[in-house]
Structure 1
């Protein structure tokens, strides 16, 4: 006889109980991730940034690339890592009365790992889900510890990340010749190859991409710790706008200063050359996050950022959908625009896709409880099919009342 499912034990956080600023921040961060992925990885080879400029860029393209590199690159990913840690802490707390909490969270991360590997191998090798799942499995046991342990973990792993920038393991990063060969092959296969040729090359590229993840892996775990610590500290549940705006000014100011020193070559004379950009990136991400939460707490801010809430609630679905859409636009099995567009043109396409996702997410969540991928993730996590329709769920609640 099948076990009876207690719906109350498996119900998601009610939309009225969700913190809109977190969802909005996730939705806005997704725009930054989209912009960087599109301009530096779908439009051209991810490794082209490590080679001397091979093609002249128009002034507008140079301006777009400069703004994205200084203000968005890696900051959006750092913010997403922080929010993932917050999300895990919220799930951990939400399941506090469930005797299977550890198993459910473990299964949640294993399912994420499966999604990530499918995405990595079959859709796009710029995947971040696999790294998040592995980092989450390492981080998960620490959620059972006290708040000071989360703070210590954040300091340890972020310190390790900065140390790795100074003392890089020899032979870890691909050689210049290997990168050059990969870029040349990418320019041919991604632009003109069939679906199977693109798939085969994508798999061959993975060993070259893994070192890029190794460099940022400690940062990912460190930001998971910091996100969970932030949630436990109730900064997000009981926001202090004055504190948040002060944090914004301090972190954005210091982060921007470090990056400015690096760009102008002054960081070397201060002994900060290797860590200026990595440290500045983390500080800017934290500053951006504090700013959005503070603004979202204002009545005018809630109206201003309300459009991003549905997008943030469906971030998993939207992230994967972007990979499918941009793969078709840029690779040879679709429109084959790889290597043919400047940064500004590619970003314009990305913004159009993002706007469509904003409207689609709002429409979808007016009818359903979760995004499609979020529903599948939750169903596999619990091992029982979750109710999808809002109408069906409302009828079930009325019968229980």
Structure 2
């Protein structure tokens, strides 16, 4: 039988479960529309209100919201695991054990990206984790200094991104070329054979990796914030920091939420008219790099501020999902490939965007009871058990 969870662990695991489903909500579009600037494809002007709402909802409330939560919790999990390992084996042995853990994750990420899902995030987590491992044992002052440095790096990269986007958005025929790329990617992923899809996936995976120079610094900052949240007790003892979490929630609701709604509006508008001006969309995208994680922080705050009775109900549904997050993440890629690609059922070629959201809900409603059933009989998910076996091999 699965081990009973403390209230603290259940709260964190439930938050991780929410992140797994939020990540799926964004990843699903890539299985249909590929790795293009038009994440939601080219939306026909005659699209139904349901289809338009599906794009708006995903862009406004999910895009750039859930990978930050997962990265934040990865950093928190890192410091909790390192503390436990260090108490048992000392710092040097703890680092050696965690290094094996990251090596396994890196290999799994590369295989996942090449064989199942080009948008794999495990590779970036593993590479950033090796850097974070060098911070193991740092006191709060050391972590605070690292946070300041990564903030400065991310600010510089954000300015560079703004310059690049301003140049690209002003190029002639940029929108037309982007629309053509999106339509071609959609045709390959939903109608192409296994070889066509595999070659497209590997190409897109290479493009994904080529963007790590921008992405990894963001992950590093989120990891460090997760470490800080444990060191300062913000995550592990939220009842002692309710004032902090209320400030985070209010900032998310009154500042980040309107900016994310604006991004959703612009994302839908550009998908409807990709050959029009994209300057407003790119400006909203740039702001999303900050406003997205800020709204993610508000989501975390809701979980930290929730009362015990309400959280117990949420945790009953989501905590088992979070306890086997890696298994669920990989199962989602298998399911999306089988359901949406042409070498499987090929549903991506016929499903509307509203129906794609319904499919997302179906996967969620399948994984919740499966996770509860599995965790009632085991201490870990199947992939987590394999991961642990490699990590602690002698």
Which is helix-richer, 1 or 2? 2
Q: Tell whether 2:294 aligns with 1:283.
A: yes
The offset of 1:173, in angstroms, is 8.7
Mark the runs of 5 or more structure 1 residues left unpaired by the alignment: 1-11, 385-401
Q: Write out the 4+ residue segments of structure 1 that deviate beyond 4 Å after TM superposition.
A: 169-182, 260-265, 272-275
Alignment check: 8 A CA contact 1:162 1:275 kept:
no
Written as runs of structure 1 = structure 2, the 5 A alignment for 1:16-165 is 16=6, 19-38=9-28, 40-47=29-36, 49=38, 53=42, 55-56=44-45, 57-97=47-87, 98-99=89-90, 100-165=93-158
Change (3 A) 1:152 1:255: farther
How many residues are matched? 367
The offset of 1:246, in angstroms, is 3.6
Alignment check: 8 A CA contact 1:43 1:346 kept:
no
170-179 vs 135-144, greater mean Cα deviation: 170-179
Alignment check: 8 A CA contact 1:60 1:344 kept:
yes
Between the aligned partners of 1:135 and 1:288, the Cα distance in structure 2 is: 24
Q: Deviations over 1:40-96 (max 9, x none)?
A: 212322315179836333211111211221121111111111111111111111112
The offset of 1:340, in angstroms, is 2.7
> What's the C-alpha RMSD, in Å, of the aligned pairs?
3.0
Find the counterpart in structure 1 of residue 275 from structure 2: none
Written as runs of structure 1 = structure 2, the 5 A alignment for 1:2-401 is 15-16=5-6, 19-38=9-28, 40-47=29-36, 49=38, 53=42, 55-56=44-45, 57-97=47-87, 98-99=89-90, 100-168=93-161, 182-240=181-239, 242-243=242-243, 244-259=245-260, 275-295=286-306, 297-383=307-393
Q: Deviations over 1:214-268 (max 9, x none)?
A: 3322111100000010011112222226322343123332212444576789xx9
Between the aligned partners of 1:51 and 1:289, the Cα distance in structure 2 is: 26
Mark the runs of 5 or more structure 2 residues left unpaired by the alignment: 267-278
The offset of 1:185, in angstroms, is 3.9
Alignment check: 8 A CA contact 2:42 2:182 kept:
no
Q: Deviations over 1:301-327 (max 9, x none)?
A: 222332101000000000000000110
Change (3 A) 1:248 1:208: same
Q: Deviations over 1:358-385 (max 9, x none)?
A: 101111111111100000011111115x
Between the aligned partners of 1:13 and 1:101, the Cα distance in structure 2 is: 24
Find the counterpart in structure 2 of residue 9 from structure 1: none
Between the aligned partners of 2:309 and 2:139, the Cα distance in structure 1 is: 34
Change (3 A) 1:141 1:200: same
Between the aligned partners of 1:72 and 1:50, the Cα distance in structure 2 is: 13
